[in-house]
Structure 1
Amino acid sequence: MDPELLEKAVEDMTKATSEGFAKLTAKLDDERKEREALEVRMQRQGLGSGPTATVGKDTIDRASLADELKAMDKFARSAGNGDVSEIKALSVGSDPDGGYFVLPQRSTQMITRLFEESPIRRLARIETLDGGDSFEEEIDLDEAGATWVGENASRPATDTPRVGVLKVPLCEVYAAPKATQKLLDTAHRDVGAWLDGKINDKFARSDARAFILGDTPLQPRGFLAHDKSLDDDFTRPFGTLQYVKTGHASNFKTSNPADQLKQLMWSLRAPYRRGATWLMNSNTASVIDQFKDGQGNYLWRDGATAGAPPSLFGYPVEFDENMPDLGANEFPVAFGNWMHGYLIVERPGLKLLRDPFTDKPNVILYAYRRVGGDVANSDAIKLLKCEA
């Protein structure tokens, strides 16, 4: 390349650069002077009174200065981008201003309300069916006749014992909750398994209530749904339960209230007292818990070890909140040998069918179980009735 041309190119570039720097410096100087003048105006806005104010050698209209200050404030709030919304500090309390960053810690557990459990299934006899829709069992109702005779006396026929049959049909309980397919697919928890557990729990509590109070053909037959009588064993019809009065129309009698509990205990014959258990709800237990003997000692005894049931007259006490409270014509206390007295029959397991087709986009979780129950031996269960 020609040295003269190269030298001329360098001179032209140097000159252009110098001119550019000069223009930039002049522009920056003008902006500095404008900013300083504005700062002076802002610092001196409160001097004097009236429509104008003197700043240095300049006389400034106050209304104009107020407009400039307002424009300056608007500029600051807009962050120079024209958005006049107020600029806020980041905070947890506002989701758009940072609250979305702070997430709650989600527990892996779930708070579950606890419901009372019935002891009937634990105390009664249970038969598991492999097939059929009912369970039948023979009942030995009577004793054989016998009499003493002399050596040469005639021997006429004696009474032959009667037999009967107990038939306990299987009843069906079902549930059909539904949930959307999307919920089942996307929930952080296994909603299907959770519903299965809730259904199973509800079925268990429905069974327990029916074993005591069931009074329709669609339910297991509760022992309180049976006929009741004051007559002793072998004098009242089999299947009718014997009861003892409390001596008060709606409570225990005031004087020696525990006497009726003792009478109830002794009304259960000796073959059944071995293994017998009291049954009542917590409200009734809170009343009986205060009974004392003639020496002022409480009749109620707490369990000797942790988890052991309390005892009354030496027999364990179990609690079932399905038992009635004390009240007119109610039967708040039962005493019996439940292994002999009550029979539960069932087909094993909970049957569950998931139906995603019938009600799209919902999935129906159809569950059912079959169970039955009835008094097997009416001699083995005794009741206390609130009656004067």
Structure 2
Amino acid sequence: MSTRLKDLREKRGRIVTDMRGLLDAAGGESRDLTAEEQERYDALFADQERLGEQISREERQQALDRRMAEEAVRSEQAPVHPAPESREDRANPTPDGAYRAAFARFLRGGTGALAGEELRALQAGADVDGGYLVPPQQFVTELIKAVDDQVVMRGLARTFQVPQAASLGAPSLDADPADADWTTELATGGEDTAMKVGKRELRPHPLAKRIKVSQQLLRQALIGPEALVMGRLAYKFAVTQEKAFLTGSGAGRPLGVFTASDNGISTSRDVATGNTATEIRFDGLIEAKFALKGQYWPRARWIFHRDAVKQITKLKDGEGQYIWRQSVREGEPDTLLGLPMTLSEWAPNTFTTGLYVGLLGDFQHYWIVDALSMQVQRLNELYAETNQVGFIGRLETDGAPVLEEAFVRVTLA
């Protein structure tokens, strides 16, 4: 762990200790927090939340620094004149330095900035008539990784690629056979009528975003147009996918874990017992944890909005111990009832009767399916009056919970 990360974690730990001191003082006197104490507690909570975000950013930056250093080493070792392309190479363009340089020139100046050979290379396997160019393979890999870093669900779920198919289908056991029969040596038992086999199908849906960049910035940006476009598109696609994977309707977009559906997680997996109409309670979290089979616990984790965590930080078990514990080691998340916890800004945070306020599950049973590679289109003339260039990013993705018993939703009574 770096010195900066260590200092941030220690500072956050001291703030959490101060928060618990306020709660313990009020609890020892059998009273609620005073208005002044509540204001102080809220300020401390905001401080530790801010530090938690700084810790996450620092960890992501260190991971990015390591990847960039590895990439620099690979670039130095790459041959100046790559081997002749095969048909497979043209379907999946090479990530060599010359290809990346040509793609960067395309972002700066469009097709006019390219020589004939470079243009033909960039157009390999792309929709030439539509003006699309396929980014170099390394560019696409970096973009997907940036999405992983910014989107909680992509880092937890199981992902599939379907470059040659319109959808991904998987057989499902919708109902088990009935229990075996006690019988005699020569008998075969009764015929089973309970077992049902079905299919889960995920069909990637189109997702697109358009951004505008000034011509001057493209010429002068120190980070280069490739990194600039990559960063902004990564953020825009990340936010949209995160919302859909959590609360999407499943109609023309992914089906979210917080959406009640017979095609995903039905209301039979909602647990409200122990909670009130406006608050999450310790008993409610206990009920939710034990509504999930123990076999799922090793990979299970909670997802809450930070407003929900603010309530949870005040909860104690029967022995007076706080059930929420902040992480103290690099790469480890905060825990709740012994299971890791993840925050998302797009998890539900309306505390009203019957609404969802959290979820516990094994997210390897949430499947994400991506189709083909991302495409980037440059719009040279559309924004010429404002001296800007447009870029359109497109991809196709779908997602859904495929096994509902692997999840349980925390619901208010």
Where on the TM-score scale, by shorter chain, does this alignment land: which range? 0.5 to 0.7
> Quick one: distance in 2 between partners of 1:238 and 1:162?
17
Matched position secondary structure for 1:291:
coil
Equivalent residue number for residue 182 of structure 2: 148
Count of residue pairs brought into register by the alignment: 259
Matched position secondary structure for 2:356:
coil
CA deviations 1:269-328 (Å, max 9, x no partner) are: 122223111111111112111111222211122224133111112111111111111511
- Between Structure 1 and Structure 2, the one with more helix by share is 2
Relative to the length of structure 2, the TM-score reads 0.57
Confirm or deny: 8 A CA contact 1:184 1:192 kept in the other structure: no
> Quick one: distance in 1 between partners of 2:188 and 2:203?
47
Structure 2 alignment gaps of length 5 or more: 1-148
Confirm or deny: 8 A CA contact 1:210 1:221 kept in the other structure: yes
CA deviations 1:147-171 (Å, max 9, x no partner) are: 1102355743223621111111111
One-letter code aligned to 2:276: H
Equivalent residue number for residue 369 of structure 2: 345
Change over 3 Å in CA distance of 1:147–1:288 after alignment to 2: same
Relative to the length of structure 1, the TM-score reads 0.61
> Quick one: distance in 2 between partners of 1:189 and 1:373?
33
Determine whether 1:217 maps to 2:244. Answer: no
Change over 3 Å in CA distance of 1:126–1:139 after alignment to 2: same
Determine whether 1:317 maps to 2:341. Answer: yes
Report the structure number with the largest CA radius of gyration: 1
> Quick one: distance in 2 between partners of 1:222 and 1:332?
14
Matched position secondary structure for 1:347:
strand
Change over 3 Å in CA distance of 1:383–1:184 after alignment to 2: same
Determine whether 1:330 maps to 2:358. Answer: no
Equivalent residue number for residue 200 of structure 1: 234
Fraction of identical pairs, as percent: 22
Change over 3 Å in CA distance of 1:216–1:162 after alignment to 2: closer
Equivalent residue number for residue 251 of structure 1: 279
CA RMSD across the alignment: 2.5
One-letter code aligned to 2:332: A
> Quick one: distance in 1 between partners of 2:152 and 2:406?
17
Determine whether 1:301 maps to 2:335. Answer: no
Deviation at 1:216, TM superposition (A): 5.2
Deviation at 1:187, TM superposition (A): 5.9
Confirm or deny: 8 A CA contact 2:279 2:311 kept in the other structure: no
Equivalent residue number for residue 162 of structure 2: 129
CA deviations 1:320-364 (Å, max 9, x no partner) are: 111111511321110111112x11111354321113245545532
Equivalent residue number for residue 393 of structure 2: 367
Structure 1 alignment gaps of length 5 or more: 1-115, 229-236
Confirm or deny: 8 A CA contact 1:118 1:321 kept in the other structure: no
> Quick one: distance in 1 between partners of 2:334 and 2:174?
35
Confirm or deny: 8 A CA contact 2:324 2:337 kept in the other structure: yes
Confirm or deny: 8 A CA contact 2:181 2:189 kept in the other structure: no
Matched position secondary structure for 2:242:
helix
Matched position secondary structure for 2:199:
strand
> Quick one: distance in 2 between partners of 1:296 and 1:180?
58
One-letter code aligned to 1:343: W
